[in-house]
Homo-oligomer: A and B are copies of this chain.
Amino acid sequence: MTERIVRVLETFTADRTTQSATEIARRAELPSSTAHRIVGELIGQGILERDDEGRVRLGMRLWELALRGSSALRLRQAALPHMERVQARIREHTQLAVLENEEALFLERLSDPTAGANITRIAGRLPLHASSSGLVLLAFADPDLRERVLAQPLRPVSAETVTDADALRALLASIRRRGHVVAPGSIESVSTGVAVPVRDHGEVVAALSVVLPRQAPTTEPIEALTSAAAAIEADLGRMH
Contact = CB atoms under 8 A, between A and B. Distances in A.
A178 interface: no
B69 A101 contact: no
Residue of A44, A46, A66 most packed against chain B (CB within 10 A): A66
A72 interface: yes
Chain A interface extent, by class: 35 or more
Interface in A170-208: none
Interface in A66-103: 66-74, 77, 80-81, 84, 98, 100-101
B123 A73 contact: yes
Contacts of A73: 63, 122-123
* Copy count, this protein chain: 2
A57 B65 CA distance: 12
B69 A122 contact: no
Given A64-B105, A66-B65, A58 B41 contact: no
A79 to B, nearest CB: 13
